[in-house]
Structure 1
């Protein structure tokens, strides 16, 4: 399955008042190579194993395969992951006909707020909430698999 999404920086915490749901997420990577990432994620009381391919030239679309696994299996797999974990709370916010997922990062990525919206095509239009900032779709440093190895708090101020 091909996943198409746009990713943005978030300019304020106003999204929290608009959130319809929030969940804690912990994830690690069995492989964080850009050509193929293999992610283990515990999201609330559910767990998933996900494989993502390399992004296309626009950075908006890539292959994604996901399978639900037991939380016990995910906990065991997390022990085999590469060093570093991503810890975040994901907020879901309605905006027009779409749901934006806003991630508030913790741990070594504390201070980073990212929003993404899944689309059916790269040309699909969507309503932009007031707290949506600069688009960073395709910027690899904002991929969770990159943040495991190069956490946000280690970036130089001019990079943020």
Structure 2
């Protein structure tokens, strides 16, 4: 099997306009059998199907890393979920076409409520792409936005978010 390299860039999302622009959406539940820095083994249930994904360490810029994914029967994914570390990721993924690319916009729930991240997969790290108006700050390579990190340190527990909720505007 040839090595599969995932090249993607991540952005915070400024507003909810992605919902109206989406051509598809699905609920995703995922857990991690292994969430060590540099290697993760993830179990995901999406649209009644299961997936097992293994990811390697990101390169220096955080834009690319090894990724292997295999579809599983739902029953097997449900059994593997029982082996996962504490903390699940629950989100809706919206697919939004912009130019020749499709953006995956993840709206998180539960302990990560309030966080919305958009990702675009590229063929090359320097590939140009059209940016939808809802894209905010780029967070590519910032570990705190990785799902495996959010599982252990949820968005609601981040110090900057605690301070904001203590002192409402």
TM over 0.5: yes
Tell me how far 1:141 sits from its aligned partner.
0.4
Aligned partners of 2:155 and 2:161 also within 8 Å? no
User: Equivalent residue for 1:50?
Assistant: 53
The answer to whether structure 1 residue 117 and structure 2 residue 117 are counterparts is: no
User: Equivalent residue for 2:133?
Assistant: 130
User: Equivalent residue for 1:97?
Assistant: 100
Stretches of structure 2 that go unaligned for 5 or more consecutive residues are: 165-169
The answer to whether structure 1 residue 77 and structure 2 residue 58 are counterparts is: no
Tell me how far 1:45 sits from its aligned partner.
1.4
Stretches of structure 1 that go unaligned for 5 or more consecutive residues are: none
Residues of 1 paired with 2:70 and 2:144: CA distance? Answer: 25
For 1:60-83, what per-residue CA distance to the aligned partner results, in whole angstroms no more than 9, with x for missing partners?
000000000011101111011000
Residues of 2 paired with 1:20 and 1:140: CA distance? Answer: 29
User: Equivalent residue for 2:142?
Assistant: 139
For 1:28-51, what per-residue CA distance to the aligned partner results, in whole angstroms no more than 9, with x for missing partners?
000001211000000111110000
Decide which structure has the larger Cα Rg and report it. 2
Q: Relative to structure 1, is the Cα distance of residues 148 and 158 closer, same or farther in structure 2, using a 3 angstrom cutoff? A: closer
Aligned partners of 2:10 and 2:138 also within 8 Å? yes
For 1:4-83, list aligned pairs within 5 A.
Answer: 4-83=7-86
TM-score normalized with structure 2 length: 0.93
TM-score normalized with structure 1 length: 0.98
User: Equivalent residue for 1:153?
Assistant: 156
Residues of 2 paired with 1:39 and 1:150: CA distance? Answer: 17
Pairwise CA RMSD of aligned residues?
1.2
Secondary structure of the residue aligned to 1:49 is strand
Residues of 1 paired with 2:82 and 2:120: CA distance? Answer: 30
